[in-house]
Chain A
Amino acid sequence: MQNVDNMMSLKFESRSKNESFARQTVAAFACQLDPTIDELNDIKTIVSEAVTNAIVHGYKDEIGYITINVKILDNTTLQITVKDKGCGILDVNKAMEPMFTTGDAERSGMGFTIMESFADKLKIRSREGQGTIVTMTKILSPRVYGGK
């Protein structure tokens, strides 16, 4: 069992203007772990992808709430869950295939591929008509304090 050192929750409406707010806020919370610029960029990217999915696919024709929970585990690991109560994903395996999208021409179908590649662990739980929970784990490289 991993030790929870800190946590926060964020709840906001599924409006695309909140994508920037969501990734910036999670990144600001992650800063207490002193991440590298690259790690911080990875965190912003995976949050942006998961939130975009909830807005574009989960709440396709409606505005609903998106909840993000972030836990800091063992002082090194960030566990981010992005939850919506939208329409759910019919076939999670299909949705995770590169280039698969049910969205418009402005979507690339690469969201899950990028989340999978930028996070250390990705878990998706979805039920049709009930919503989707995306859990992403990012392990930060150990910081060296003291010394010179």
Chain B
Amino acid sequence: MEVTYTINDSWVSIYLKGELDHHGARTAIERVGQIIDLNYGKNIAMDLSHLDFMDSSGIAVVLNAKKNVGKDSFVVRNVPTQAMKIFRTARIDKMIDFED
């Protein structure tokens, strides 16, 4: 699991790359949290286009990120079909803004 980010004006894009399961979840949550803290006050877009696999661990990663962002905008972008099926099953799509 690789976590990188880019900054574009008031938006920070966080990219998760590889396979996201329980093994990498804690590191991913911590790394994403650090990036959000470092960029306090900016809007956060989590980009999942480079994710090869995700299980229910991804739910905790996204919900923790939303909690860390607080009142700034938070969106999850480019979610692969398999990961979206998990978010829908868990009804996370009602709590998070997803966009293509």
Chain A residues lying within 8 Å of B25, measured Cβ to Cβ, are 106
Q: Which residues of A contact B19 (CB under 8 A)?
A: 20
Top 7 nearest A-B pairs by Cβ distance? A16-B23, A108-B59, A41-B82, A48-B55, A52-B22, A110-B56, A110-B90
Closest residue of B by beta carbon distance from A55: B22
Of the candidates A16, A41, A105, the one whose C-beta lies within 8 Å of that of B64 is A105
Q: Which residues of chain B in 6-22 are interfacial with respect to chain A, using CB atoms and an 8 Å cutoff?
A: 19, 21-22
Bound CA span A110–B25, Å: 15
Say whether B29 faces chain A, with CB atoms less than 8 Å apart: yes
A interface residue count range (under 10 / 10 to 19 / 20 to 34 / 35 or more): 20 to 34
* Residues from chain B with Cβ under 8 Å of A38 in the complex: 81-82
Q: Does more than half of chain B's interface fall in helix, strand or loop, or is it mixed?
A: helix
Q: Tell me, rounded to whole Å, the shortest Cβ–Cβ distance linking A16 to chain B.
A: 4
Contact of A45 with B22 at beta-carbon distance under 8 Å, contacts A106-B29, A110-B56 already known: no
A48 touches B60 (CB 8 A): no
Chain B residues closer than 8 Å to A23, beta-carbon distance:
53
Provide 30 A-B residue pairs closer than 8 Å at the C-beta atoms, listed in order of the A residue. A16-B21, A19-B21, A19-B22, A20-B21, A20-B23, A23-B53, A38-B82, A41-B53, A44-B53, A48-B22, A48-B53, A49-B56, A52-B21, A52-B55, A55-B22, A56-B22, A98-B90, A105-B60, A105-B64, A106-B60, A106-B64, A107-B22, A107-B57, A107-B60, A108-B56, A108-B60, A108-B63, A113-B89, A113-B90, A118-B85
Docked CA distance A48–B23 (Å):
10
Any chain B CB within 8 A of the CB of A111? Answer: yes
Interface string of A84-109 (1 = CB under 8 A from B): 00000000000000100000011110
